[in-house]
Amino acid sequence: MRIALYQPDIAQNTGTLLRLGACLGVAIDIIGPAGFDMSGRALKRAGLDYLGDVELQQHVSFSAFDEWRRHRGFRLVLATTKAEQAYTEIAYRGGDIVMMGRESAGVPDEVAALADAAVKIPMREGMRSLNVALAAAMIVGEGLRQLGAGE
């Protein structure tokens, strides 16, 4: 599995997800432009000492990312509060990429329309959303559980 971050706004969330990817063996795709410095030095600071242990792919735009993932046959699963299906109700595949939207705005409708599936984390009435890193961990954790990772 992979996690894609669509134009991330917050370096600390990206760092948390880089660490998650390193610890769980989940590749991370960062779709630019990011809302913070993406230089090697800045990424090293965000990812602490885990940066060398994560498979990291940077994409200059969503269109470049979409072409790259389609060429490889990866299914795109969008995490969005607008989805009808809960993240626990989908059958995950080994080639799935779980895409997280920007912390400030999610993804544009035209990007959402290109996802192969969309999932949400059911929440209490009146709650808007979870932290992007926490949400990604929940969804990818479910995917890895279904795929028997760690057994």
- What integer pLDDT is reported at residue 148 of this predicted model? 93
**For 37, phi and psi rounded to 5 degrees?**
-60, 125
CA 2 – CA 91 distance, rounded (Å): 15
User: What's the pTM value of the predicted model, to 2 decimals?
Assistant: 0.93
| Structural domain for 128, as ranges | 2-147
For the stretch 111-115, contacts whose Cβ atoms lie closer than 8 Å and that sit 24 or more positions apart, written own/partner, are 111/6, 111/62, 112/78, 112/80, 112/82, 114/66, 114/76, 115/76, 115/77, 115/78
Q: Which residue has the higher pLDDT, 129 or 63?
A: 63
CB distance 30 to 8 below 8 Å = yes
- Summarize the confidence of residues 127-132 as an average pLDDT: 92
**What is the tally of structural domains in the chain?**
1
Distances (CA, A) of 22 to 4, 55, 88: 14, 7, 23
For 69-85, how does the pLDDT look when each residue is reduced to its tens digit (9 = 90+)? Answer: 999 999 999 999 999 99
For 4-54, how does the pLDDT look when each residue is reduced to its tens digit (9 = 90+)? Answer: 999 999 988 998 999 999 999 999 999 999 988 877 666 666 656 778 899
| Rg value, the chain, Cα | 14
CATH of the domain at 121: 3.40.1280.10
Q: How many residues does the chain have?
A: 151
Strand order in the sheet with 2-6: 56-59, 27-31, 2-6, 96-100, 75-79, 117-119
